[in-house]
């Protein structure tokens, strides 16, 4: 029957271990160890940083005008550093096709959730969680022509009558112009103004637009 191996180190093995410990304590060994640590640091620095990872985002394939309903030909995907992207950058063209551009966009511009019409645009424009978008046709076409996206206005309502100007009243203050549409000859020759405002004011303006003439005053 074979004897089990002796687990106790031999004198020769002990001597080898001692020489190894002494070598580790020499200045040369310390320099080698320091060099290895420095090399490891360089490797860690060069390794991909998650914050600098590349993301594919939706960008405008051509210059886009406000009010344009987006098609697949208007959009493309581009790669950008993730830590350089604006908040709300869109990542799928399928989520954008069919939506309306709220403001002008240059070719190559990254599209975000507030660049297209939607709930987030109303919240961003008003700075309120209850922001809503209300489409209106103003009584005076000349006033509509003066409006630009980003303008702040007060909405006035007046009955359709000869002395309407004298009965005008403010029904919404500090509304934000989000979009002035182009006239649609198939349905209406009048431009539509899209305004962002809190829910309560939006309901008043929407109701008044059914019976009264609307206009705005500029801030």
pLDDT for position 165 = 52
* Parts of the chain belonging to CATH 3.90.1210.10: 52-116
The Cα–Cα gap between 174 and 153 comes to 5
Q: How far is CA 191 from CA 6, 44, 129, 140, 157, in A?
A: 97, 58, 28, 10, 18
pLDDT for position 68 = 87
Indicate the pLDDT class of residue 118, thresholds 50, 70 and 90: confident
**The total number of residues written for the chain in this structure:** 219
pLDDT in tens, 151-160: 999 999 988 7
The Cα–Cα gap between 101 and 107 comes to 13
Is pLDDT above 60 for 45? no
b/e code 11-22 from CB counts within 10 Å (16+ = b): eeeeeeeeeeee
Q: Which structure tokens are listed for 162?
A: 């000869």
**Fold of the CATH domain 52-116:** Type Iii Antifreeze Protein Isoform Hplc 12 (3.90.1210)
Mean pLDDT across the chain:
81
Report the pLDDT averaged over residues 52-69. Answer: 88
The gap between the terminal CA atoms of the chain, to the nearest Å, is: 104
Look at residues 66, 199, 194, 192 and name the one whose alpha carbon lies nearest to residue 134.
Answer: 194
Instruction: Name the pTM for this structure.
Output: 0.63
Indicate the pLDDT class of residue 52, thresholds 50, 70 and 90: low
CB 112 within 8 A of CB 89: yes
């Amino acid at each position: 029957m074979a004897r089990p191996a002796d687990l106790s180190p031999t004198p020769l093995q002990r001597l080898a271990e001692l020489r190894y410990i002494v070598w580790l304590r020499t200045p040369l060994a310390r320099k080698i160890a320091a060099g290895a640590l420095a090399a490891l640091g360089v490797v860690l620095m060069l390794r991909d940083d998650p914050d600098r990872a590349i993301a594919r985002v939706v960008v405008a394939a051509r210059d886009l005008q406000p009010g344009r309903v987006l098609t697949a030909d208007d959009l493309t995907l581009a790669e950008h550093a993730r830590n350089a992207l604006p908040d709300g950058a869109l990542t799928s063209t399928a989520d954008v096709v069919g939506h309306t551009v709220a403001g002008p966009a240059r070719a190559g511009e990254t599209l975000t959730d507030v660049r297209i019409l939607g709930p987030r645009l109303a919240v961003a424009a008003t700075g309120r969680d209850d922001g809503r978008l209300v489409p209106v046709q103003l009584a005076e076409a000349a006033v509509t022509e003066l409006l630009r996206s980003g303008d702040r206005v007060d909405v006035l309502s007046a009955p359709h009558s000869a002395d309407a100007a004298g009965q005008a009243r403010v029904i919404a203050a500090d509304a934000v112009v989000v979009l002035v549409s182009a006239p649609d000859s198939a349905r209406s020759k009048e431009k539509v103004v899209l305004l962002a405002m809190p829910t309560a004011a939006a309901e008043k303006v929407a109701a008044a637009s059914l019976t009264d003439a609307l206009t705005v005053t500029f801030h």
